[in-house]
Amino acid sequence: QVQLVESGGGSVQAGGSLRLSCAASGRTASMYAMGWFRQAPGKEREFVAVTSWSGAAQYYADSVKGRFTISRDSAKNTVHLQMNSLKPEDTAVYYCAANALKDYTNYVSWGSWGQGTQVTVSS
């Protein structure tokens, strides 16, 4: 099993930027994909972005495309989410996940989860 720890959340004004990080440990040799989800109060967990560990494939939700960038640092077993042009609608707890089995946009497809980090965007 892979253990994940998110960091980098905080509070920013609309139009600002944040960079989230997710460090993986445990059975990292088996890691083949990592992604980000978010969950706002009263909402279901929402897909944000995913990358293959090789970096060959990256996909984004339409709501963040062009503003967010997912990347990975293989040497540190870490994935990042660079969030630019933040909007109040981006306010949520952000979770990283590892090893989707099939449909990466569905949270139940992922095998490992971090504890989440809060992102708050004020207008």
Taking only the tens of pLDDT, the chain with its 123 residues reads: 899 999 999 999 999 999 999 999 998 887 889 999 999 999 999 999 999 988 889 999 999 999 999 999 988 999 999 999 999 999 999 999 998 777 899 999 999 999 999 999 999
Dihedral sign from CA coordinates of 11, 2, 39, 62: positive
User: Would you call 42 helix, strand, or coil by DSSP?
Assistant: coil
Q: Where are the beta strands (DSSP E) in 8-116?
A: 10-13, 18-26, 33-39, 46-52, 58-60, 68-73, 78-83, 92-100, 110-113
Quick check: 55 and 72 in contact, CB under 8 A? yes
